[in-house]
A and B are shown apart, each in its own frame.
Chain A
Amino acid sequence: MRFAKQLLTLGLALGSAGLVSCSIPKPECTVGQTTTIPVGQSGVMAFSVRYVLQSGTGECAELKGDVIGMQSYHPATADDPQIRDFAKTSIAIRTQSHGELVWMNEDFGIVNEGDNPNAIGDFTAAEPDASDLCVVPSAEARVVFPGAPVDLGIPCTTGGTECGDNGFPTATCEEVDPMDPTILSCVYTFAAADLGYKWSNIQFYVTAAATGTQFTADLEVTLNGCTATYKAIGMWPAVDCTDYNLGTPDDRLCHPEPDPKNAELPRPYGSGINPDFGPVVCDASIAVVPVVDDYYSLFAGAPLSVPRCVLQNDTIPQLEGFPELVPAE
C-alpha cells in the first residue's frame, strides 16, 4: 500500500535527517497560456511580440511584430491513456496573422489542405535550466491565402473614376453577375499572402513569479516567396495601450497599477502585466500582415492591429520593474 511505503520513507528520512534539505521545487516548463477571456485594461491572453530585423529585404522584411497565442500540452502516458505524462511537454504557437488568414480562407470558402497555423515544438526538458530558461529548439507553420476579390457594390463604368471617387483607387471595374454582363461594379482584390514561419531556439524565462511569460526566438519569415530573418522578443499578456479619447498610444496604459481617479487617463484596473517586468513601452508598430488589416478596414471600418505594450530591450529576462506610480486622489 502506498501509504505504508510513505511511512517507511518517513522512518528512513527521519533517521537520515534528509527531510530538512527538501526545498520547494522549481516550476515546470510552460508558456503564458492563451484563453478566450480578456481582462484588465485590455489584456489579451497572448504574447505581444516585437520583431527585430536581422536580414532580408522586400515585403517580408517590413514586419514589426505580432500578437501570438501559445498553449502547452502533455501527452498521455504509454500505460494509461487517461493520465498525463509530465516528463514531456510540447507547445503550439499561433500568430494572429496566421489565425486571421485561416478565417479569411473560411470566409471566402477557400480550402487549403496543407494549411497549418499551429507551429508545434517540444521543450528539451521538463524543468528550467540553471538560468531559469526553457528551450524549444524548433517549430514551423504555414498558411496560404491565395488572394480574393470582393464586390464592393459600387456601380461603375469601364474607364470611369467611380471606384476612386468612393475611396477605393485600387479597385477595378468588373462584371460581377455571370448572368448579366452589363452589371459592372467596383471590385477590390485582396492581396495574396503565402506566409510561413520557421522558429528556432525559442527560449522562455520560467520562474514561480513569471511562468513562461517572456521569450526570445530566432524567426525566419517567408512571405510570398521572399525570406527575412528576425529576432523575436515577446511578453505576455498583450495589452492594447491606445488612449481611445485621443486615438494615440500611451505608455501609462502598460502600468500594472490602477489609477481610477486620474483626470487625464482614468484606469480602473491595472494592465495585468507582471509588475516585475520592465522596461515596458507602448509600440504602435505591432501589426498583423497588411492584407489582414486591409480586410478589417474594409469590413469592420478599422484595422485589426492596435498599439501593444512590449518589452523594450532585446534579451531576456527583463526585470527592471515599472516606474513608481502614485495614484491620483
Chain B
Amino acid sequence: MRRLILLGRPLGRSGVIARALLARSLWAAVPAAFVALAPTTADAQTATTGVITGTVIDNVTKKPMAEVVVEVRGATGEQVVVTDSAGGYRIPNLAPGSYTVAVANEGYKPSGTSVTLNANATIRVNVSLTPTALTGAVTEVIAKAPTVDVGSAQTGVVMNKEFTSRVALSRPTGKGGAARSFESIAEVAPGAKNDDYGVSINGTTSPENRYIVDGLAVNNPAFGIVGTPLSVDFVKEVSVIAGGYMPEFGRSTGGILNVVTESGSNEFHGGAWLNFTPGAIEGERKRFLAAGQAIRTDRNVDLIHDFGVKIGGPILKDKLFFFGGVSFNSTRWRVEQNLYRQKVGTTPLVNGDTGVPHPEVGNDFEYDENGDVVTEKIDGTQSVRPAIQRGIQYMAKLTFLPNQDNSLELSLFGAPTNSGGNGGWGIDPDSGGIEGGANDYTAAAHRYVSEALGLNLKWSGAFDNKTFLVDANLGWHHQKAARLPSDGSEIGSKDGLAGMPSVLWQKSIPVHNDMKQFRNIPGGAATCADAIVQDVDDDPAVDSDGDGDPTNDVDGTVIRDPQCPATQYFSGGPDFLSQQEMDRVHGRLTLTKLFQGLGHHVVKGGFDFEQASYNHTKAYSGTVRYAENGSGSAFNQQRRYGFLTGPDTPVVQDLQKASSTATSVGAFVQDSWNFLDKVTVNLGVRWDSQFMFGNDGKVGLALPYQFAPRVGIIYDITQQGRSKIFANFARYYESIPLNMVDRAFPGESQIGARHRAALCDPTGQDPTRDCNDPASLASRGRVFGTSYDPNQFYFSTGSAKVPVDPNLQPQASDEIVVGGEYEIFPDGRVGAQYTHRYMVAVIEDMSRDEATTYFIGNPGSGIAKDFPAGQRDYDGVNIYFTKNFSDKWLAQVSYTVSFLRGNIAGLYRPETGQLDPNINSDFDLKSLTVNRYGPLPGDRTHEIKVYAARDFPFNEFFAGPSNMGLNLGLTYTGRSGGPTNFLASHPIYGGSEVMILPRGSGDRLPWTHAVDMHLQYDLRMSKDTQLSVYMDLFNMFNFQETTAIDEDFTFSEVDPVLDGKPVKDTNGKLVPDCAQLKHPDGSPFDCETEKNPNFGKAVGFQSPRQFRFGARVTF
C-alpha cells in the first residue's frame, strides 16, 4: 500500500538525525564470585527462570554419592534436595540471581560454592566431598568449571547488571536513550545493529523481533515494534536470542529479546540515580544543506536527563517480597530555523530559448565549484523552538513463595511519554525522530502522547520431587498512542487546527513558489527578490516576427526562480492525525517432564494464546489535504477520507474508525535428549495459528497451519564441557501485526477531486475562491481524456475490501546455524558460527491495476505467481573471543562478515521509513518490482566489535583505601558501509519509488568507526551501600562519517534500466549512464536539467561525541 506521507514526521533519510554508532558490550560479564559451571541440556529452564543441577561424588573413590543433602540458598530463601541414586540433584524454577550451593554429609567436610544463574540457563555444579578422616596429601581440586553452554545451539548474548555497569551503553539521543530502554542496549549482540525503529538482528527488521518482559509479550500489537521500552534500571537481565532457539519461543522471524525484571528478596535493596547529558559539550554536529530549500533547520541537544529510585525487600521473610521503582526522563532539543537566500552573482540571465544574455533583466545566481547555488543566511529570520519529550517509567512487583515448590509473581510496569505542543516541536516515540523542516509550524508540529503498561501474573510449580514442572503466565499489555494537533484541538473536530485543511505547495513550472508567501521576510522583496519570468526581444533592431515592428518581438523568455524559493512546503493544518488504542491478553502454560531412557530426556510441552485488538481513529485535519500541481493551475484533494455512493456523489468522513482484532493460538512439544551423556539432540515442533478479524467482525485472514520444526545437535569433543560443535535447523513464523487489518479490511477508502486554482483558495482566506463550491471543480475526465469514467469529477481509492489469496501461506523464514566453541583458558572462549537465513514465504499486498485495487498474497506463488518471489537471504560468519568477567577484567572481540541480499527488507521499508508490516509498497505494483533484488539497506559486509573493561581498586595499585576504585571500559565498533541506490519517481507512487539500476548498484558508503569509554569511580560506604560516579563518553574522537546520502537521482519519472550497469562520472563516482535513461513516454532524460542537484550528497552523519554523567547510590 502507498505510504502515508506524514509531514513533520521525519521518515527515512530525509529528516532523521543519523542513527548513532552505538558501542555495546558483547558478552555478559559475570561477577568475581562466579565459579562457573558447565551448563548442560537446555532443560527445565523457562524464559524467566533457570535450573541448578549437578552430581555429588566422593573425592577419593570418585564414586557418586546418593542421599546427600544439597542446600541451595538465594535471595528469596533456600531449597533443599537430596541426591538420587546416581548422585544427581536438580533444582528448577529458580529466579536469576546469585546462589550458594552447600553440600554436607556425615563423615565428610562440608563444601560450598557460589553460582550466578541467568534466566533460561542450566548450570551444573558438580561437588566433590572429601572425607574428614583424611588429612594430608589430598589436594582439593577446585576446578573452575567450564563456561561453554554444551546444551544448546542458541546464539546471542545475555546481559546482566555486572556487565551493563562496566561499558558505555545506550546513547542518550537514540530511540529509548533517555530512559535507557532494554532495547537500546541490544545492539551488543553479534549481528545486531540499530535500525529506524529499534534493533535489527541478523539482517531482519526490528518489528520482527519478539519482546518479552517477565513472560508477557510487549510488542506493539499494531506495528510489531517494542511497545513498552522498559528502562534497564528495573531490569535484572536482558537476553538477546538471535537464533537457534527451541519451539518454546515462536511468533517471530527476528530475534527474541527476553527481559526479566528485578524482584524483592529477603534483604532491603534499592538505589537512586541521576543521569544527565549536557548538549553544550556535544561534539560539533556536521551539517548538510539540501540544495534548493530556503529554510535550514539545525537540531542540537539541549539537555537529556533522568532520575529515579527503586527499592525491594521482604514483607514476610522467605515468603512474600516486594519491589517497586519509578523514574522520570526528559529529552530536550533546540531546533533552530534560519532562512537562506540564493546569492545573486555577476553573470547575466539568458533567454532560455536562444541563450542570448539579457543583463537588463538581471543576473543569474552564483554557483560554487560543485555546481550548487551559493546561499547566504538572512539576518533576523532566526526562530527557535524546543522539542521536548517527557516520560515516566514505573514498576511494581509482588513475589509470593507459599512453599519451596511454588512461586507466584504479580508485576505491573509502564512507560508513558508525552511530547510536543505549547509552541514546541514533537518527538515521534516510535522512531525518535524530531519534527521541524521547511513547513509552517501549524502544519508540521504535533503532540505525541503514548501510554504503555503491562500487568502480569506468573506461577511456577514443581511436583513429583521436581521432576514435573508447571509454568504458567497470564498478562495484559495495553498501549495508547496519539498524534494530535499542537494546539490541543480534538481529532475530527471542526475547531482549532484539527478543523484546518493542510496544503502542500509544490509548484515548479516555470518557477517555484516564493517563501515570502509563507514567511515574513524582513525587507520583503528587497531581501528576497521576486521570481523573474519575462519575455524578451533579443535584438530590438531586428524584426524577427515579420510584422514590421522590430521592437515588439518576443524571442523567448528569461526565467529565474525566486531568490528564496519554497520548493515543497506544507502550510495550514497538521494533516494526518491519529488515535490508537491497542491491547493484548497473553496466556501461556508450559509443562516439563524429566525422565531417563538412553540418557536424560527433558520433555516440554506447552500451549499459549494471544488476543490482540487495535482501535484506530484517524483523520486529516479539516478532512482534506490539498496539493498544488506542478504548474500551480490546480489543487488536488490528495488525501481525504470518504467514499462515493454513486457517480460523483461523495460522502466526506470527518473521521475514519476501524476496530481490528487477532486471535493467535499456539502449542509446542520438544525433547532435549542428552544421549548417553555424549551428544545432545534437541528436537521439537511448534504449531501456531493466527486469525485476524476486520472492522465488520468477520474473518479477514486465517492462517491456521503454521508448523515449525526445530532440530539441533550438539557434540562436545572434549567431553568435559570445554567445547562444542553444533548444528541447528529452525523454521520461524511471523505474527502479523494488526496494522494490516486496520488498513485492508474493509479498506481505507479515500476520495479526491481537482479544483481550479483560479476558483479555489485552499487556505480559505479568499472568500471569492471557495473550494467547497462545486463550480471550482475541474473535470478530471476532460483533463485525462477519460470520457468512459462514471465519475468525471471525483475518484476513489480503497473502496473495496482487499481480497486475500485463498491459499495464502504464512510468512516464514528458515535458519541453519553451524558452529563451534572452545574454551582456551578458564573463562575464555573462542568460537565461530555460520548463520544462513532465507525467506520461505512473504505476505505482501500487491496490485495488478496500478494501485487502484490491491490483494493480499504471496509474491511469486498462488494468485501472485507472476510477481517476483519475496527474497531475503542472509549469510553471516561470526568469529569471536570472549572472556567472562573474572580477575577484574573482561574482554570481547568479534568479527562478523555477512551478506544480506533480497528484494524486501522486512516489515518496514528503510528507503522511505514506511512502517506498514506486510502491506508496505515493496511489491505493490509489478512496475515497482523491477531492479529490486540486490544488497538490502541493512547489508554491512564487515563488522568488528571490541570490548574491554578493567577494575582498578585503589589498594591494588597504590596504597589507597580499600573501599574505593575505578573501572574503565573501552569499546571500539567498526562497520563497513551500506549499499546505495539510484532512485527516480514513479508515475503513480511518486518520488523515490523507482530503482533506475539494480538495487545496491551505487558506491558503498564509507566505513564508520567509533570509540566509546566508560569511566567510573566507586566508593563503598558500608557493607551494602555503594556510591558510584561515572561518565559515559560516546564517539570519543567525534568521527562524523557519512551514514546516508541522498539517493534520489532525479524527481522526474524515469523507466528502470533492467539489469543496467553504472558508469563512473568525472569524480570517479558510480552513476547511471544518462544516455540510457528515458521517461515513461519515451522521451530522453536530460541529465543537465533533471538530475537532482543534491544527489549523492550526505544527508546523515554519525552522532557526534556525547557525554553522559551520572551518579548512583545502591544499598
- Which of A's residues lie within 8 Å of B, judged by CB? 2-3, 6-7, 10, 13-14, 19-20, 22-28, 30, 32-37, 39-40, 43-46, 67-76, 81-82, 84, 86, 90, 92-96, 98-100, 102-103, 117-118, 120, 207-209, 211, 236-237, 256, 260, 268-270, 272, 274-276
Q: Which residues of A contact B803 (CB under 8 A)?
A: 27-28, 207-208, 211
Q: Which chain B residues (36-83) contact chain A, with CB distance < 8 Å?
A: none
B795 close to A (CB within 8 Å)? yes
Q: State the CA gap A166–B853 with chains docked (Å).
A: 49
Q: Which residues of B contact A75 (CB under 8 A)?
A: 645
Q: Say yes or no: A86 contacts B988, CB within 8 Å.
A: no
Q: What is the distance, in angstroms, from A10's C-beta to the closest C-beta of chain B? A: 5
Q: Say yes or no: A25 contacts B863, CB within 8 Å.
A: no
B801 close to A (CB within 8 Å)? yes
Q: State the CA gap A128–B784 with chains docked (Å).
A: 33
Chain A: which residue is nearest B691 at the CB level? A22
Which of the segments B193-201, B396-404, B659-667 contacts the partner chain? B659-667
Q: State the CA gap A237–B849 with chains docked (Å).
A: 8
Q: With A25-B804, A73-B646 in contact, do A19 and B689 touch (Cβ < 8 Å)?
A: yes
B789 close to A (CB within 8 Å)? yes
Which of the segments B337-345, B460-468, B505-513, B697-705 contacts the partner chain? B697-705
Chain A: which residue is nearest B857 at the CB level? A208
9 additional A-B pairs beyond A35-B795, A207-B803, beta carbons within 8 Å, are A6-B663, A22-B691, A34-B790, A36-B781, A68-B788, A82-B654, A95-B788, A99-B789, A208-B805
B346 close to A (CB within 8 Å)? no
B116 close to A (CB within 8 Å)? no
Q: Which chain B residues (577-619) contact chain A, with CB distance < 8 Å?
A: 583, 585, 609, 611, 613, 615
Q: State the CA gap A108–B680 with chains docked (Å).
A: 88
Q: With A6-B611, A36-B781, A94-B789 in contact, do A76 and B645 touch (Cβ < 8 Å)?
A: yes
- 0 or 1 for each of B850-894: is its CB under 8 Å from A? (1 = yes): 101101010000010110000000000000000000000000000
Q: What is the distance, in angstroms, from A213's C-beta to the closest C-beta of chain B? A: 8
Q: With A6-B613, A37-B784, A76-B651 in contact, do A211 and B853 touch (Cβ < 8 Å)?
A: yes
B359 close to A (CB within 8 Å)? no
Q: With A25-B699, A211-B803, A256-B866 in contact, do A71 and B788 touch (Cβ < 8 Å)?
A: no
Q: What is the distance, in angstroms, from A196's C-beta to the closest C-beta of chain B? A: 17
Q: What is the distance, in angstroms, from A264's C-beta to the closest C-beta of chain B? A: 17
Q: What is the distance, in angstroms, from A282's C-beta to the closest C-beta of chain B? A: 20
Q: Which residues of B contact A22 (CB under 8 A)?
A: 691, 699, 702, 704
22 A-B pairs with CB atoms under 8 Å apart are A6-B661, A19-B704, A22-B691, A22-B704, A36-B783, A39-B927, A40-B850, A46-B786, A71-B644, A82-B652, A86-B801, A95-B788, A98-B788, A102-B787, A103-B787, A118-B647, A120-B647, A208-B803, A208-B863, A237-B849, A269-B927, A272-B848
Q: With A24-B701, A84-B643, A269-B927 in contact, do A208 and B789 touch (Cβ < 8 Å)?
A: no
B941 close to A (CB within 8 Å)? no
Q: State the CA gap A39–B786 with chains docked (Å).
A: 13
Chain B: which residue is nearest A209 at the CB level? B863
Q: What is the distance, in angstroms, from B942's C-beta to the closest C-beta of chain A? A: 36
Q: What is the distance, in angstroms, from B622's C-beta to the closest C-beta of chain A? A: 16
Partner of B789, one of A36, A86, A260: A36
Q: Say yes or no: A69 contacts B789, CB within 8 Å.
A: yes
Q: Which chain B residues (341-389) contact chain A, with CB distance < 8 Å?
A: none
Chain B: which residue is nearest A66 at the CB level? B788
Q: State the CA gap A22–B988 with chains docked (Å).
A: 36
Q: Which residues of B contact A3 (CB under 8 A)?
A: 583, 613, 661
- 0 or 1 for each of B736-757: is its CB under 8 Å from A? (1 = yes): 0000000000100100000000
Q: What is the distance, in angstroms, from B492's C-beta to the closest C-beta of chain A? A: 10
B105 close to A (CB within 8 Å)? no
Q: State the CA gap A242–B583 with chains docked (Å).
A: 56
Q: Which residues of A contact B795 (CB under 8 A)?
A: 35-36
- Interface contact tally, CB-CB below 8 A: 194
Q: Which residues of A contact B850 (CB under 8 A)?
A: 35, 37, 39-40, 43, 45, 272
Partner of A19, one of B613, B663, B788: B663
Interface of B is mostly: mixed
Q: State the CA gap A3–B988 with chains docked (Å).
A: 38
Q: Say yes or no: B804 contacts A33, CB within 8 Å.
A: no
Chain B: which residue is nearest A238 at the CB level? B788
Q: Which residues of A contact B611 (CB under 8 A)?
A: 6-7, 10
Q: What is the distance, in angstroms, from B635's C-beta to the closest C-beta of chain A? A: 16
B800 close to A (CB within 8 Å)? yes
B987 close to A (CB within 8 Å)? yes
Q: What is the distance, in angstroms, from B49's C-beta to the closest C-beta of chain A? A: 27
Partner of A118, one of B782, B790, B853, B857: B790
Chain A: which residue is nearest B656 at the CB level? A82
Q: What is the distance, in angstroms, from A146's C-beta to the closest C-beta of chain B? A: 18
Q: What is the distance, in angstroms, from A108's C-beta to the closest C-beta of chain B? A: 15
Q: What is the distance, in angstroms, from A128's C-beta to the closest C-beta of chain B? A: 11
Q: Which residues of A contact B1090 (CB under 8 A)?
A: none
Q: Which residues of B contact A13 (CB under 8 A)?
A: 663
Q: Which residues of A contact B702 (CB under 8 A)?
A: 22-24
Chain A: which residue is nearest B644 at the CB level? A73
Q: Say yes or no: B787 contacts A96, CB within 8 Å.
A: yes
B926 close to A (CB within 8 Å)? yes
B237 close to A (CB within 8 Å)? no
B1055 close to A (CB within 8 Å)? yes
Partner of B800, one of A23, A24, A30, A90: A30
Q: State the CA gap A93–B804 with chains docked (Å).
A: 26
B758 close to A (CB within 8 Å)? no
B1086 close to A (CB within 8 Å)? no
Chain B: which residue is nearest A31 at the CB level? B800
Q: Say yes or no: A46 contacts B788, CB within 8 Å.
A: yes
Q: State the CA gap A268–B611 with chains docked (Å).
A: 47
B780 close to A (CB within 8 Å)? yes
Q: What is the distance, in angstroms, from B850's C-beta to the closest C-beta of chain A? A: 4
Q: Say yes or no: B804 contacts A96, CB within 8 Å.
A: no
Interface centre among B786, B806, B987 (most CB of A within 10 A): B786
Q: State the CA gap A14–B607 with chains docked (Å).
A: 12
Partner of B852, one of A14, A45, A67: A45
Q: State the CA gap A95–B783 with chains docked (Å).
A: 18
- 0 or 1 for each of B680-709: is its CB under 8 Å from A? (1 = yes): 000000000101010010111110100000
Partner of A94, one of B665, B788, B988: B788
The 7 closest A-B pairs by CB, nearest first: A99-B787, A27-B803, A69-B788, A209-B863, A92-B790, A39-B850, A36-B784
Q: What is the distance, in angstroms, from A240's C-beta to the closest C-beta of chain B? A: 13
Q: Which residues of A contact B663 (CB under 8 A)?
A: 6, 10, 13, 19
Q: With A6-B613, A102-B787, A256-B866 in contact, do A90 and B855 touch (Cβ < 8 Å)?
A: no
Q: Which residues of A contact B655 (CB under 8 A)?
A: 82
Q: State the CA gap A95–B786 with chains docked (Å).
A: 11
Q: State the CA gap A19–B456 with chains docked (Å).
A: 26
Q: Say yes or no: B808 contacts A24, CB within 8 Å.
A: yes
Q: Which residues of A contact B700 (CB under 8 A)?
A: 25
Q: State the CA gap A31–B1010 with chains docked (Å).
A: 58
Q: With A25-B698, A37-B987 in contact, do A274 and B801 touch (Cβ < 8 Å)?
A: no
Interface centre among A2, A20, A24, A102 (most CB of B within 10 A): A24
Q: Which residues of B contact A272 (CB under 8 A)?
A: 848-850
Q: Which residues of A contact B988 (CB under 8 A)?
A: 37, 39
Chain B: which residue is nearest A47 at the CB level? B788
Partner of A20, one of B704, B783, B927, B987: B704
Q: State the CA gap A6–B655 with chains docked (Å).
A: 24
Q: With A20-B689, A270-B926, A275-B866 in contact, do A99 and B788 touch (Cβ < 8 Å)?
A: yes
Q: Which residues of B contact A99 (CB under 8 A)?
A: 781, 786-789
Q: Which residues of A contact B698 (CB under 8 A)?
A: 25
Q: Say yes or no: A33 contacts B852, CB within 8 Å.
A: yes
B653 close to A (CB within 8 Å)? yes
Q: What is the distance, in angstroms, from B184's C-beta to the closest C-beta of chain A? A: 31
Chain B: which residue is nearest A27 at the CB level? B803
Chain A: which residue is nearest B662 at the CB level? A6
Q: Which residues of A contact B763 (CB under 8 A)?
A: none
